[in-house]
Amino acid sequence: MKPASRGPDRSREGPPTEPAAPSTASDVASQIAEQLPLRRRRLGLAFVGLGVIALAAQTLFEWLLPYDSGGLMHLRRWLARPSLSPAMLAWGWAALCVLLLAGLAQRRRAPDVLAALTGLALGSAYAAAGGPSPAVAMLCLVGVASLGWQVRAGGGLAFLLGAALAVAAWDALLSDFPTLWIAAGVLVAMFVWIDSRHIRASDRRLFAALEERDTLIRDLDARSEQLQAVERARTRLLASISHDLRQPLQAVRLYAEALRARPDLDPTARRLLKQQVQAADDAVGMLDQFSEFSAIEHGMLVSHPELVNLREVLERVAGGLQPAYPKSRLRMAVHGRPTWVWVDRSQITRLVQNLAGNAVRYSVGVPIEGPARVVLAVRPHRGGCVIDVVDNGRGIPSDKLEAVFQPYVQLAQAAEASRAGRGLGLAIVKGLVAQLGLALAPVKSRLGNGTRFRVSLPSTLMRDAPMPRTVTGVPITARLDGWLLALLDDEDAPRLALRAALESVGATVVEAESLGRLKRLLDAQERFPDVLIFDLDLGADQPDGRAALAELRQEWETPVPAVILTGRVGARSIILPPQCSMLEKPVALVELVAVLNRVAPRTDLAL
């Protein structure tokens, strides 16, 4: 079965990036310039409509404005309707005006003809609503309502001129001494001047400010896209650096462990090899810090909760720190009963490691009587529990208690502050606390008397202890005598180093740089390998480790156990097939042997 063809391998370039979103800044100035006159027109017409109804409503009560019956008498004579009452005339006029106002308000662009007709109808208040006083009141209402939309194609000027013309015409027709044409002309000139010199000038200033704001928003969007592109490039760079540096570190560590496994090695060489392994572990620790802090900073950290014994985590962390120092310099202690919680194992372990490592660095070498002491404790607290990390070191100044959680902050008096850290340990702790839903208590510290860090776990994470498992009798051995292992890695240095390390503990290793070559080599073997050890990223011209594993299992029709090795950042979120474990490079030989025993227990060794 041939592997499916694939495009270029982008696994080492970090996570895929999404295309940049288009700018969300819209041209607000142009939108407001279009919508503002429309809103002003509708508001003004509604205001005039209320005025029309108020004038007509005077017929139901006592007339508030002086009523001139001359218009009513002329209309009775012209229409031959002697029974025409003031109420009938006023409400008929009001109904006509309201219909015209509603039609004008409905239009997105007010035609001058309709606006002028509506103005003429409103100016007819002279004849329909009681003479000059209602006419002047209506002309003032129309003038106020026309402000803000007298521009060309707005219709406001035609609306105002129509009302003024109607008022002047009815006054000339019905009055013996027509004078309202003067008042109408003055009012029209006044409202036109207010609109052009104040309303439109204010609008121009507003639109200019909005256009400037739109320009600034577009510039900020462009800069934001540039910054996001830089952040994506930095993420890809960190992922690439982390992957590419883990490969040689894996080789260095495994070669050193292979040499340490030789029984004829003299003590001096064994000590130097141990220091070499420690140096490689320190380099990996710094890589892990940068990678993890980058993931926290970008919100890319993913948690995989499981049942975890906090007492066991504390013991493992203490067991990893104590061997680096003699008992005369450092004494680690662990207190507390087994406490089971539902949390991501690797992240809670990293949190405790950073707190404990920080305590050790700032305690070892302090001029006090006796060795430095660091206590790791888990205690019940308010339905949940707390993790305490206490030391007897120098302490932290009161003005630095908050600053120590900021990235790249280190206290200068640390005896070993430069070792295995760059001021990111406590910043990562703060990020992990937020990621896991925990709480960080205020730091308690006294200069010269040590420091206490406390992390609180809520009751929702507490779990009962699991049922004890039945012992199977299958031994876990530190050697791999009789094991047949298949190793696939496209890079020579880490592959050959891993082969040397596995052979140093008794395993037979069949290794290759490509899946096709590995198949040919395995065809010559008399049995299936006990475990497949595949690198996750196998180069551009072949499938990745999971696809290669699936292909072999399908061809052999046998679910051979497997271990996937990777130097990729964020690989824990990858879904693995059954009977498969994943380890991040560089991996210690003892850890790899333990995982091999777990995924493929050799029952024949117990016989």
Q: How confident is the model at residue 453 (pLDDT cuts 50, 70, 90)?
A: very high
Of 15, 85, 29, the residue nearest 56 (C-alpha)? 85
Cα 191 from chain centroid (whole Å): 53
**Residues across the chain:** 607
Q: Which residues pair with 375 in a beta bridge?
A: 333, 390
549-587 pLDDT, tens digit per residue, is: 999 999 988 899 999 988 776 666 677 888 888 888 778
90-102 pLDDT, tens digit per residue, is: 898 889 999 998 8
- Listed in sequence order, the residues at least 6 apart from 572 whose beta carbon sits closer than 8 Å to its beta carbon are 302, 304, 346, 582
Q: For position 483, what pLDDT does the model report? A: 92
Residue 321 pLDDT greater than 90, yes or no = no
- What distances in angstroms separate CA 556 from CA 432, 510, 511, 576, one per listed residue? 43, 17, 18, 19
Q: Is the C-alpha dihedral spanning 35, 37, 40, 44 positive or negative?
A: negative
- 144-182 residues labelled b (16+ CB within 10 A) or e (exposed): bbbbbbbeeebbbbbbbbbbbbbbbbbbeebbeeeebee
Cβ atoms within 10 Å of 112's Cβ, excluding its own: 17
Residue 152 pLDDT greater than 60, yes or no = no
Q: Do 358 and 425 form a contact (C-beta atoms < 8 A)?
A: yes
- What's the chain's average pLDDT? 81
Q: Do 511 and 488 form a contact (C-beta atoms < 8 A)?
A: yes
Q: Do 179 and 135 form a contact (C-beta atoms < 8 A)?
A: no
> Which residue has 């592959």 as its token pair?
495
**341-347: average pLDDT:** 90
Q: Do 465 and 338 form a contact (C-beta atoms < 8 A)?
A: yes
Residue 437 pLDDT greater than 90, yes or no = yes
The two counts, helices (H) then strands (E), for the chain are 17, 14
Q: Do 258 and 498 form a contact (C-beta atoms < 8 A)?
A: no
Q: Do 551 and 577 form a contact (C-beta atoms < 8 A)?
A: no
Q: Where are the domains of the chain?
A: 28-178, 301-463, 484-606
Q: Which tokens in the block code for residue 146?
A: 């026309």
Of 512, 506, 541, the residue nearest 525 (C-alpha)? 512
**267-294: average pLDDT:** 74
pTM exceeds cut of 0.75: no
In sequence order, which ranges of 129-199 are alpha helices (DSSP H)? 132-146, 156-174, 180-194
CA dihedral defined by 132, 137, 143, 144, rounded to 10 degrees? 170
Domain 301-463 CATH superfamily = Histidine kinase-like ATPase, C-terminal domain (3.30.565.10)
Domain 484-606 CATH superfamily = Response regulator (3.40.50.2300)
Residue 127 phi, psi (nearest 5): -90, -30
Q: 3-state class of 462 per DSSP?
A: strand
Instruction: Let me know the angle formed at the C-alpha of 195 by 189 and 201, rounded to the nearest 5 degrees.
Output: 135
Q: 3-state class of 151 per DSSP?
A: coil
Angle between helix axes 200-260 and 267-297 (nearest 10 degrees) is: 160
**523-539: average pLDDT:** 88
**189-201: average pLDDT:** 83
DSSP string, 554-572: HHHTS---EEEEE--TTGG
Q: Do 137 and 55 form a contact (C-beta atoms < 8 A)?
A: yes
Q: For position 452, what pLDDT does the model report? A: 95
DSSP string, 227-254: HHHHHHHHHHHHHHHHHHHHHHHHHHHH
Q: For position 11, what pLDDT does the model report? A: 38
CA–CA dist 158, 144 (Å, integer)? 14
- What distances in angstroms separate CA 575 from CA 8, 383, 556, 578, 600, one per listed residue? 22, 34, 22, 10, 20
CA–CA dist 597, 53 (Å, integer)? 93
Q: How confident is the model at residue 198 (pLDDT cuts 50, 70, 90)?
A: confident
74-91 pLDDT, tens digit per residue, is: 777 787 778 788 888 889
DSSP string, 424-460: -HHHHHHHHHHHHT-EEPPPEEETTTEEEEEEEE-GG
Q: For position 417, what pLDDT does the model report? A: 46
Q: Which residues pair with 533 in a beta bridge?
A: 487, 563
Region of poorest pLDDT, from 94-103, 124-133, 411-420: 411-420
348-396 pLDDT, tens digit per residue, is: 998 999 999 889 988 887 766 778 899 999 999 989 999 999 999 888 8
Q: In which element (H, E) is residue 509 found?
A: strand 508-512
Identify the burial level of 346 via C-beta atoms within 10 angstroms of its C-beta, where 0-12 means exposed, 13-18 middle and 19 or more buried: middle
Of 512, 485, 490, the residue nearest 501 (C-alpha)? 485
Residue 336 pLDDT greater than 70, yes or no = yes
Identify the burial level of 469 via C-beta atoms within 10 angstroms of its C-beta, where 0-12 means exposed, 13-18 middle and 19 or more buried: exposed
Q: Do 376 and 432 form a contact (C-beta atoms < 8 A)?
A: no
With a pLDDT cut of 90, the percent of the chain lying above it is 19
CA–CA dist 148, 165 (Å, integer)? 21
Q: How confident is the model at residue 151 (pLDDT cuts 50, 70, 90)?
A: low
